[in-house]
Structure 1
Amino acid sequence: MATPTPPPPKNFAGPLEILTHALHTTSHTPVFTCTIAAASPTVLSSQNCSVNRDIALAEAYAQLAHYDVLVIPGGGVTDPGGVLEVQGEPLGLVKKFAELGNEQRKGGGGGRERTLFSVCTGSLVLGEAGVLDGKSATTHCEYYDELEEVCARWGRTEVLKERFVVNSRSGGDGGGNGLRIITAGGVSCGMDASLWLIREVAGLESAQRVAEIVQYAWRQGVVV
């Protein structure tokens, strides 16, 4: 996970809680091992919660090919470009991760799925990185217009008022860059999308078990 600053803690902690509870139903081994990447050793949320990183961004770049999922949690913004005030990270990390899927497709490599996953206004970062061009996406319900504005710089993106939107890899190159792109609305929508991802990777039983453990009513989004 890479964090724009400062993210509300639930946009980060909600999906993290869901993903780290997921177990394979036969081996009971973890489905995901989560690593927190950030520019500074400690990230302070908008509610003054501190999160310690596991690795620096330089290390994240060096190891990026070994990761299957990149999660970008959103941050509180007061204007359309607020989450993008610094034209740096995690924009570069998002672009590099998307390029990995594209390079794999061009090289004829297959089988390994990569997922780029934003929560809340994290979708603005994906839009600014240009990876939502020609795709469908969503964001926090108060930022639909802002997402359309950001994405229009690159081309056309259909902004849907859904809890989460999945651009599936199935069929051809999976929507352009050889990777699955998931955009979710705020907080609980990111938890819904996380459960969907668990279902895809480890099966429905595993996802239902996580929802039961955290006592959460799982709601669905759309797959396009």
Structure 2
Amino acid sequence: MASPKPLRVLYALHPNFDTLDFTGPLEILSHATHKHTADSSTSESRVFQPTITAVSELTTSAQKAIFKRHIPLTEAHSTLADYDILIIPGGGSQPVLDGQTEPIQLIKAWAALPKKVDGSTRYLLSVCTGCLFLAEAGVLDGLTATTHADYYGQLEKICETKGKTRVLKERFVVNKTDEEKGLRTITSGGDAVQKTSPSYSK
């Protein structure tokens, strides 16, 4: 039996991003495997295939760790439809917002992609203050969202100018799939959030 095709995950890094916002999802998703049994033998294959993109070849996190991209952002934009999941880490958010720099344009392009021909869902995930980039990109209109507890007010302020978004004080928020676009948006908070229960928007 042929192995299922892995889901392609694109991680978009920006200067001074929070290391854990990137390595946390990377670590968790790396452990997901498909098990295959043929005759008396069992094999495994990865569920998720990661790709890192950034403006520069090397990107330094807020913790001074240096990460090397797999592909430049120009290539990420041109091959965006090939991916299943886009993950946006937080940290170092104000310079991105002030300069209107990447990954804001990448997020806009992701949300504008047409629905997949096979009908499968694309996912947009933000970690911590990465949600501020989603808000600035204008992709949270009509959705619910959360971010790090220290940034609820800033998220609400950005959303006021970008559409109607309900900001929740939750650890993470899972929106229903937009059936027209085939896109599902998930936002998560930071370690200062006290609640542990997820919120599923109606």
Match in the other structure for 2:198 = 221
- Report deviation, 1:28: 2.5
1:11–1:187: 8 Å Cα contact kept in structure 2?
no
Percent identity, aligned pairs only? 49
Stretches of structure 1 that go unaligned for 5 or more consecutive residues are 190-218
User: Structure 2 residue aligned with 1:89, among 102, 112, 116?
Assistant: 102
2:59–2:67: 8 Å Cα contact kept in structure 1?
yes
Count of residues paired in the alignment: 183
1:68–1:114: 8 Å Cα contact kept in structure 2?
yes
**1:155 counterpart = 2:163:** yes
2:119–2:182: 8 Å Cα contact kept in structure 1?
no
**Quick check: which one's helix share is greater?**
1
Match in the other structure for 1:193 = none
1:37–1:57: 8 Å Cα contact kept in structure 2?
yes
Match in the other structure for 1:30 = 46
2:150–2:192: 8 Å Cα contact kept in structure 1?
no
RMSD: 2.0
- Report deviation, 1:110: 4.9
Amino acid of the residue matched to residue 223 of structure 1? Y
Structure possessing the higher relative contact order (Cα contacts under 8 Å, 6 or more residues apart): 1
Stretches of 4+ aligned residues off by more than 6 angstroms: none
Match in the other structure for 1:61 = 77
TM-score (norm 1): 0.76
TM-score (norm 2): 0.84
Match in the other structure for 1:123 = 131
- Report deviation, 1:5: 2.1
1:119–1:187: 8 Å Cα contact kept in structure 2?
no
Determine helix, strand or coil for the equivalent of 1:89.
coil
**Quick check: which one's strand share is greater?**
2
Stretches of structure 2 that go unaligned for 5 or more consecutive residues are 1-10, 37-42
- Report deviation, 1:160: 0.5
- Report deviation, 1:156: 1.2
2:14–2:102: 8 Å Cα contact kept in structure 1?
yes
**1:182 counterpart = 2:195:** no
| Cα deviations by residue, 1:7-33 (Å, 9 ceiling, x for unpaired) | 111111111111111112446211100
C-alpha separation in 2, matches of 1:60 and 1:187: 30
